[in-house]
Structure 1
């Protein structure tokens, strides 16, 4: 059997009684960083052997773990913090277990994305967890433009050294959209910071960011338009509307920058006049 065991995201008191018992009972614990996890195990007096399992050794080590499981041994999978297999390669091991008929069960506990959503004050009835945003600005902006029309609350993980850049991009794309930055959840310096994209971008323009970060974005105005952008532009331009006015309106509707939509509108207009 494979146990997915959630571990604390900061405060060690969030470790469950069941998690401690299971980690003591299994034959082997697979973890991201043995040095990090050894400290956790020592705190709870758990002597079970550890083995590393992370994105860089996932393929080879995954097959070895599957062999252990097929031989009848009980294994636990943990991450450095929170629930394993969420936004990490552990899900592939889980899928292989299902394919091979190996029983998988969960020992639930802390999970940063859902915990941050709960304390954010943003709508929780519908939300989309998007993991990490792309590291490079161009790719990040492209992804944000695709997501910003979403009618669900958006939840991201963000590296502390990239938070300021992501907030700058959001401030340019949707300056008035409500954001929440949740930092260092359950730890001594926990912080929940709310404000518009413009306000939070200014706050972290020069301030050094420390700790683990969850970034949440309030829902957009509505669902993505049913027709594609070029078709919408052609319809509006054919009606004789000013190109700048059309570009501004459709940029908001499609979650894109006004200059990008204007360039596309100008190209379509030029093509139509040829």
Structure 2
């Protein structure tokens, strides 16, 4: 009989947000796989419990090597509880590999629902919540980061990102350049903690604020692109959007493809609009 893999959500700040089932699962586990065993110790002390089984580390550096060991234990009938530093395992945290391995071995996978920085930030942002997409962490290299943002420039759903505090200014600046300086956003810092802060405003304004230095865990929520109004996606508007992306460093071919997809028109139509705008430009 195979075991069970339990993905246990942990508090993103306040330990009292822990669901009651978390304590029960930690005490019943044969193995507790923790992203940081020291943080697990602090959490169990706050909950007034002790892990019932063996505690092992499971973090980015050893995830690939440790997954087969845990998968073997699951296949042998063990109950493995996976916890990360905050929030739900596998969401921008270790866990996906183990879930995939458990599924492959026919092992039951369940979860202890818990606090989520993604949903919490979205809820308090003041931005539309009916449709959203989670983009995780952006690439660290400026060129790759800008490329990822260009892919999302025409996305109409609200966008949610994680970011490190020391990269926040650069990320908000890049967002202002690619999405537009006036695009609305919210920077959510230290959610549920003592110094919780939600700063709302246009991207350019938020980038200027972040230049002063920001500390703590950061989640950024950005309003999606506005859908074109009836008749708005005319040639001039298509050409303007392509020019915007080219100015941000995107190749014309890619810019035309993305603008066409966002406007819901054939690529040829966007291409013709760019050519027409170039021909209609000032002549010397």
- Shorter-chain TM range is 0.7 to 0.9
- C-alpha distance in structure 2 between counterparts of 1:70 and 1:179, whole Å: 45
Instruction: Give the superposition deviation at 1:89.
Output: 3.3
- C-alpha distance in structure 2 between counterparts of 1:185 and 1:175, whole Å: 25
Residue in 2 aligned with 1:22? 25
Q: Is the 8 A contact 1:237 1:243 kept in 2?
A: no
User: Does structure 1 residue 11 correspond to structure 2 residue 17?
Assistant: no
The equivalent position to 2:223 in structure 1, one of 199, 205, 218, is 218
- C-alpha distance in structure 2 between counterparts of 1:28 and 1:159, whole Å: 31
- C-alpha distance in structure 2 between counterparts of 1:97 and 1:242, whole Å: 61
- Partner SS state of residue 224, structure 1: helix
Instruction: Give the superposition deviation at 1:132.
Output: 0.3
Q: Is the 8 A contact 2:64 2:97 kept in 1?
A: no
Spell out, residue by residue over 1:211-269, the C-alpha distance to the aligned partner (whole angstroms, 9 max, x if none). 0000111010127134576762344425774358xxxxxxxxxxxxxxxxxxxxxxxxx
- C-alpha distance in structure 2 between counterparts of 1:131 and 1:239, whole Å: 37
Single out whichever of 83-92 and 149-158 deviates more from structure 2. 83-92
Residue in 2 aligned with 1:143? 148
The equivalent position to 2:105 in structure 1, one of 97, 100, 104, is 100
Residue in 1 aligned with 2:187? 181
- C-alpha distance in structure 2 between counterparts of 1:111 and 1:102, whole Å: 25
Q: Is the 8 A contact 2:17 2:115 kept in 1?
A: yes
Q: Which runs of 5+ in 1 are unaligned?
A: 245-274
Report the TM-score, using the length of structure 1 for normalisation.
0.83
Spell out, residue by residue over 1:32-89, the C-alpha distance to the aligned partner (whole angstroms, 9 max, x if none). 1111211111222332231111121112211111111122111100110111111123
Residues 243, 152 of structure 1: CA spacing in aligned structure 2 closer, same or farther, 3 A cutoff?
farther
Q: CA RMSD in A?
A: 1.8
Residue in 2 aligned with 1:196? 202
Number of residue-to-residue matches in the alignment:
243
Residues 84, 238 of structure 1: CA spacing in aligned structure 2 closer, same or farther, 3 A cutoff?
same
- C-alpha distance in structure 2 between counterparts of 1:100 and 1:141, whole Å: 39
Residue in 1 aligned with 2:67? 62
- Partner SS state of residue 211, structure 1: coil
Query: Which 4+ stretches in 1 moved above 4 angstroms?
Result: 227-231, 238-241
Instruction: Give the superposition deviation at 1:140.
Output: 1.1
- C-alpha distance in structure 1 between counterparts of 2:159 and 2:104, whole Å: 32
User: Does structure 1 residue 237 correspond to structure 2 residue 275?
Assistant: yes
